[in-house]
Structure 1
Amino acid sequence: MIPEVGVADLSSIKSGFVRDVVARGNSIKKIVISEVVYNNIRKASERGENVGLEELNRLKNVSEEKGIVIEVRKQDGVSDPDEAVLRLALENGFYLITSKESFAKLAESLGVRVVKDSRVNLKPLLFTRYFYNDVMSVHLKEGVVPKVKVGRPGSWRLEGIGSEPIDKGDLEKIVEEIFQRVEAGEGFFEIKRESSTIIMLNDYRIVITFPPLSDKLELTITKKVAEPEIEDYDLDQELIRRFSERAEGILIAGAPGMGKTTFAQALAKYYLRENKIIKTIESPRDLHLPPSVTHYSKSKSSSEELHDILLLSRPDYTFFDEMRDTEDFKLFTDLRLAGIGMVGVIHATTPIDAIQRFIGRVELGIIPSIIDTVVFINRGRVETVYTLETCVKVPHGLTEADLSRPVVLIKNFMTGNVEFEIYVFGERTFVVPIKESSKKVSRVNLMINNILDKYIPDSEARIQSHGGTVTISMPSNQMAYVMKKCRKKFERIEKQFRVNIVLKPLETEA
């Protein structure tokens, strides 16, 4: 039996639940709305968010048809809508009408009688209508025609849905429904900020951005579309054996959308079958793994907390999804040097770029102790595998014996050939491809090094040669000075050796 007087919270108004309660024509005689809730809806409408206001108008129309009274009640000393509603219900003995499962449980624990929305989990989510066939992700933006990515990681196409742009009201309804489902316990907020929210809801990862962060309301909804096993990648048995017996510092690299996380998921399940203890560090937590795997959120903890937990729990392998800033690399390094097997997922356009992300963050000589295997994923498949080791030798292309120094050798796992050498000369770090004309590359690099020494002797600049291009990475605040002093000298080198010299900011601590 529906009570005679009910106080409606914000969720029940925006979802239309209180309107449905009135429309059913039960014994309810009055709906009380807190002035705090009413003001919240009014301020939202002034920002262009009209879902609440539209539902209030619909509630008014239905109430007039049914002869139901709606009262807006003034409240002093309270500003939170949920607190205001709870006070009204407690102090007056009203029933609480809500669409939020968690709020309903809280109210019931305080002795408040509750009418809660039982429809929430029964109807399909509004955005699921866009997920047809092989849709990987849905991209919704206010005033823009909805778009979807169709296909699989590394091989997809972008399609528009219809010809009508989606309006703000429809988007707000989708957002409100998503929030309701999370409140009902179907998912969780991975990150919740004033202008952005990341949500994990069932099999969906949802990114929502609001103005002023984005120019308009926008949703990106991604669904897992494949769960391949490691066997589906048709890997060489030697590589499988390396994963089982030797690889303990693994980088999985690739461009966005190429299938890095999908491969990491397959590798994690392989290790589980090998009776390994697996834990993950993620933000957001979207690796789909068996319940035995514990997922730690990077956004809900500090690096120090994760460091302590993982050192004491001693997993066989920790999967670090989406390594971005220096704190991530430091945590990966500390755990790996402590003896924990680490698998890191990192954005990179080439496999050598992934290794270079560590240069400048850790000592060059210990990189092979941190990373022993680099797996590069392109279009959903394993394209390149590198292994790393250190030796003391004369860098390739140099001739004098007294130039011997520690050199990191980067080998192609399948051929065994050294494809890159990384070494320090003076204060510069050189990344030299062995396939190039080595004498020419070495001479160009040394000439550039000598020029830089005259102007920025204490710089942490790195010099990399690849495909006729010499890239000099240095702190951004020195680039203008170097260009002013060295431009003509660089131009002479470019003309003499037919190379292209490029300056770019050095990736420093983030």
Structure 2
Amino acid sequence: MKREGQSITRIASDTSAIIDGAISSRIKSGEYAGTQVIVPEAVVAEIEAQANRGIEIGFKGLEELQELRKLAAQGTIDLVFAGRRPNLDEVKLAGGGEVDALIRETAQENNALFVTADRVQSQIAMAKGLDVDFIVPRFIGYGPLRIEQFFTEDTMSVHLKNGVPPMAKRGSVSAVEFVCLRKEPCTYGELKLISRELIERVRSDPASFMELNFNGASVLQIGNMRIAIANQPFSDEIEITAVRPVAKVSFDKYRLSTVLKERIKEQRGILIAGPPGAGKSTFAAGIAVYLHELGYVVKTMEAPRDLQVPKEITQYAPLDGSMEKTADILLLVRPDYTIYDEVRKSSDFHIFADMRLAGVGMIGVVHANRAVDAIQRLIGRVELGVIPQVVDTVIFINKGEISKVQVLEFTVKVPSGMTEADLARPVIIVTDLESGRTEYEIYTYGDQVVVMPVGLEVKKPSWKLAEGEVKEVIERYATGPVQVEMVSDHKAFVQVLENDLPRVIGKGGNVINNIESILGIHIDVRKFESGDMKEKPSQKEFRPIIEKTKKHVILNIPELVTHDVEVYAGNEFLFSATVGRHGDIKVRKDSTVAADILSAIEEGELVTVRPL
């Protein structure tokens, strides 16, 4: 270590001190002013190699070397490059310390104070008898980052590219806008300054990480912000993308059914699916916190680590670049549940399956446009008969809400559409959790795996009555229009105006929970989206033109194209239907409904159509 009271006349720096900018900083403060600064050629070679590979810290090192040259030109220091450059074999063995040994050798030969910010390097240098000045990283006094000026409270992501005005995604998960932040395009110098600052923060802040570092691309995690930096030749121009969560949603806000909560607690295999930006990771973080609060041991596997979870939940990255090694460690840690963020590659699905079959409760996050697409991604990666043991529940998230939950079961049966008993085979049945209706069957047919949609839903007559009852109750709280759609015997979608949402849901969901307990129906309340509210005709009743053909009785009402309507004979309700795009309702001539229409006409009753 540096000897007290000893005047410093000559210093030699290693790569870490150059990249950290510590040498020029101490020269400007006067501590190293007037000294001879020796930069080993091995340091120059290491920085040059990093810059040529497009690694950001290499450019940071080049900037520091240029700053030292300026200080030397001003006469503040005497800058000297000494030692020899490492050969190809020594470069290949850099990870084993060959280049570091050359740097220490140069400092020893020149009898210089050895300056380093690398703890291992400092310990070895002291053991070798060198005078060492170990620069301890400064962890306090961080100011705001330049990139933070582009963020507001509702900004989800910021997109910066050379020659393009800065852009950002703003709003909530259910309503995102891509907006331009200013007219002036970003410049190369501005983006390089921002990227250097981000790299410097990662190197000095113990709460930040360099998640990935490739030729021309780096991924950083700074606080709750994930940043991707792309450079040429990987990208056509320098680009910086920063993403952060805009909301930390309480798990209770999702209003999960008791059945789904119980499935989550039973150490199952669950996939959380949805398109990019739908809120999958936010929901996964909510599940992690929920399970932790119930007393379970919860860990995460992430690359990069960006789930917003409390410190009690340990977040694991790829060990030595491999998630398989991370899984080996986790099996020794013995968690009750593991959240696997971004299950995408075949290796990810294999690791997920291995851990699940080992008895660990697994919850994976998968990109998919439909719930069934998440299941299809398992086909070919996991043996078909094992899929229900690996994944038995798929939760589909869209616009920050749970839009569908599917469960998987394994049985032996004759697939739907086949009639011969000898065609029975193992079949994976995919059913909707809320309604219990089978939606898909997965089985082998010859050499192919078939994912067959089955049981297309037909609205039951009783649903119309239920919709009316739900609408009547909701209208007591809403001031504007209410639209109700039954999707199963026990679930309804309700749409109201945005300013009516607080009244219908109530504080903490007390109003809607009370309505659900009274009606015995789970109600999913949403606001009207643009285009959802159909323009209703001003008239209440319409008289259709009635025609008879050989096969049909046709009611023609061109004013109500594509509208849902009810047909009456006098004041007696006959049936409900949807008017076709040509303005027609076709009823088979041999049906009871057609007979009722013709009977009403013969008796002189007025047949009318009323829009819903």
Preserved CA contact (<8 Å) 2:267 2:337: no
Shift of 1:112: 0.6
> Larger radius of gyration, structure 1 or 2?
2
CA distance in 1, matches of 2:52, 2:362: 50
Moved more, 282-291 or 257-266: 282-291
Q: Does structure 1 conserve the Cα–Cα contact (< 8 Å) formed by 2:298 and 2:313?
A: yes
1:223 match: 244
* C-alpha separation in 2, matches of 1:290 and 1:46: 39
Between the aligned partners of 1:431 and 1:175, the Cα distance in structure 2 is 47
Q: Deviations over 1:76-109 (max 9, x none)?
A: 25478876665454444544566x5758865885
* 2: CA distance, partners of 1:209 / 1:379: 29
Q: Is residue 28 of structure 1 aligned with residue 33 of structure 2? A: yes
Aligned to 1:192: 213
Task: Name the CA distance, whole Å, in 1 between partners of 2:138 and 2:324.
Answer: 42
- After superposition, where does 1:95-106 map in structure 2 within 5 Å? 95=113, 100=117
Partner Cα separation in structure 2 for residue 404 and residue 47 of structure 1 = 58
419-428 vs 6-15, which deviates more? 6-15
Q: How do residues 208-247 of structure 1 correspond to structure 2 at under 5 angstroms?
A: 208-244=229-265, 246=266
2:290 matches 1:285: no
Q: CA deviation at 1:260?
A: 0.9
Aligned residues of 2:439 and 2:456 also touching (Cα < 8 A): no
Residue in structure 1 matched with residue 400 of structure 2 by the alignment:
380
Flag the structure with more relative contact order, 1 or 2, with Cα contacts below 8 A and sequence separation at least 6: 1
What is the CA-CA distance between 1:402 and the residue it aligns to? Answer: 2.6
- Say whether the 8 Å CA contact 2:115–2:132 is kept in structure 1: no
Q: Which of 428, 431, 448 is residue 411 of structure 1 equivalent to?
A: 431
Task: Give the Cα separation in 1 of the matches to 2:187 and 2:346.
Answer: 40
Instruction: Give, in whole Å, the separation in 2 of the partners of 1:247 and 1:63.
Output: 65
Deviations 1:300-330 (A, max 9, x none): 3545534443444332112111111222212
Deviates more, 1:146-155 or 1:18-27: 18-27
Which residue of structure 2 aligns with residue 128 of structure 1? 148
Distance in 1 (alpha carbons) for counterparts of 2:184 and 2:64: 24
Cα distance in 2 between the residues matched to 1:175 and 1:82: 27
Letter in 2 for 1:196: A
Structure 1 portions without partners, runs of 5+: 439-510
Does the 8 A contact of 2:169 with 2:176 survive in 1?
yes
CA shift in 2, pair 1:40/1:135, >3 Å: same
Instruction: Give the 3-state SS of the residue equivalent to 2:165 in structure 1.
Output: coil
Q: 2:358 aligns with which of 338, 346, 350?
A: 338
The alignment status of 1:68 with 2:47, answered yes or no, reads: no
Which shifted more, 271-280 or 5-14? 5-14
C-alpha displacement of 1:408: 1.6
Change (3 A) 1:106 1:206: farther
Q: CA deviation at 1:75?
A: 1.7
Distance 1:47 1:253, change over 3 A: closer
Letter in 2 for 1:272: H
Deviations 1:322-347 (A, max 9, x none): 11122221222222222221111111
| Percentage of pairs with the same residue | 37
Question: 2:173, 2:319 → 1: CA distance?
Answer: 25
Secondary structure, aligned partner of 1:113: strand
Cα distance between partner residues in 2 of 1:92 and 1:58: 23
* Pair 1:151 & 2:156 matched: no
- 2:34 touches 2:77 (CA, 8 Å); kept in 1? yes
RMSD: 3.5
In the TM superposition, residue 369 of structure 1 has moved relative to its aligned partner by 1.8
In 2 relative to 1, CA 54–423 (structure 1 residues): closer, same or farther, beyond 3 Å?
A: closer
Contact 1:120 1:181 in 2 (8 A): no
In the alignment, the residues of structure 2 paired with residue 229 and residue 101 of structure 1 have an alpha-carbon distance, to the nearest angstrom, of: 42
Offset from partner CA, 1:411-468 (integer Å, 9 cap, x none):
1111111111222222222212124599xxxxxxxxxxxxxxxxxxxxxxxxxxxxxx
The question of whether the paired residues in 2 share the 8 Å contact of 1:4 and 1:28 is answered with: no
CA distance in 2, matches of 1:389, 1:224: 35
Determine if the alignment matches structure 1 residue 202 to structure 2 residue 210.
no
For the 8 Å contact 1:394–1:400, the answer to whether it is kept is yes
Could you report, residue by residue, the CA deviation over 1:225-266 in whole angstroms, capped at 9, with x for unpaired residues? 32222102122233223323x461111001111111111110
In structure 2, list runs of 5 or more residues that go unmatched.
92-98, 459-612
Query: Equivalent of 1:297, from 271, 292, 317?
Result: 317
**Residues 100 and 121, structure 2, Cα contact 8 Å, conserved in 1:** no
- Cα 1:170–1:391 change in 2 (3 A) is same
Residue in structure 2 matched with residue 349 of structure 1 by the alignment: 369
2:268 to 239, 248, 257: 248
Q: Give secondary structure in 1 for the equivalent of 2:284.
A: helix
Contact 2:40 2:84 in 1 (8 A): no
| Alignment partners' CA distance in 2, 1:164 and 1:97 | 42
User: Under a length normalisation based on structure 1, what TM-score does the superposition of the two structures give?
Assistant: 0.74
**Equivalent pair of 1:41/1:53 in contact (CA under 8 Å):** yes
Contact 1:283 1:299 in 2 (8 A): no
**C-alpha contact (below 8 Å) 1:190/1:299 kept by paired residues:** no
Distance 1:274 1:16, change over 3 A: closer
Cα 1:93/1:297, change in 2 over 3 Å? same
* 1:329 match: secondary structure: helix
Which whole-Å CA distance do the structure 2 matches of 1:142 and 1:323 have between them?
32
Asked if structure 2 preserves the Cα contact closer than 8 Å seen for 1:60 and 1:70, the reply is no
